[in-house]
Structure 1
Amino acid sequence: MSQRYHSSVLHNRSSILPAGSTPPASGRSSPYPPAGQRFADDLEGQNDEAIEGLNAKVRMLKDLTIGIRDEVKDSAIQLSNMNDAFAETSGILSGTFRRMNNMASRQGCRWLWYIVFLIVVFWFFVVVWWFRR
């Protein structure tokens, strides 16, 4: 008979619990949530923290890539300005070298005339010296 009473108690729990209450396993009669619910809430909180951390990292990467983009744009503008400055300097230097070459060719002719003049003068002195002897 005790076995029969024991099995009927297991099947009919409402007879041993006060009216209006539910078993503690459901978590409704306890002021604290059951362990499974607390574990799920903890995991949900950890997930929220991980999502916030990932959002912060994504924002940081976005700011970094925007900074890199701005730096590349500024560098491209600066390189373009330098290219223009070098082209202008190249034009100025080529004009300067052209004038120097023109002057050198005239100077070379002038030096050639000086050399011819000195040879003629030297020849004149040699001829005069030859006749004076």
Structure 2
Amino acid sequence: MSQRFRATASLRDRSALLPDYYTPPSSGRSSPFQPQPSGHRFADDLEGQNDEHLEGLAAKVKILKDITVGIGNEVRESTVQLSQMNDAFSETSGILAGTFRRVNNMAARQGCRWLWYIVFLIVVFWFFIVVWWFRR
């Protein structure tokens, strides 16, 4: 218990936590944003910290730039692929339209016989599916 008391007592003494050149404002409130410089050392420390922060920000900006360039490249590649897919679908729709037109022409020439062929194929297909289902 005496160790706990000493730890809390040392936490109350906040002057031990602050650097030597820091003096609190005269208002009695302590603010970490308004240190009182005492000498050239404080300015050098602040300048060093600013340089470190600038280097960190420059690295983050470079990372963001690389990400945006990568996004731009991906968008361009996706646009090319989408246009190729659009061309392929247009070609396929033209082929299917021609095929349906020929099937309709054939159906019109043969009358109602083609309907019986389709019904026969559906029955045969259904028979094979039922046999396969029971053989599993």
1:108 Cα deviation (Å)?
1.6
How do residues 35-46 of structure 1 correspond to structure 2 at under 5 angstroms? 35-46=38-49
With the length of structure 1 as denominator, give the TM-score of the two structures: 0.55
Structure 1 unaligned regions, length at least 5: 1-33, 112-133
- Asked if 1:86 is matched to 2:92, the reply is no
Higher relative contact order at CA 8 Å, sep ≥6: structure 1 or structure 2? 2
**Higher helix content, 1 or 2:** 1
Q: Please, which of 88, 106, 109 is the counterpart of residue 109 of structure 2?
A: 106
The Cα shift of 1:104 comes to 1.0
CA-atom RMSD, angstroms?
A: 1.7
1:1-133 paired onto structure 2 within 5 Å: 35-108=38-111
Distance 1:66 1:35 in 2: 47
Please give the secondary structure, in 2, of the residue aligned with 1:98.
helix
Aligned length, in residue pairs: 78
User: Which protein shows a greater Rg?
Assistant: 1
Structure 2 gap segments, 5+ residues each: 1-36, 115-136
Structure 2 length-normalised TM: 0.54
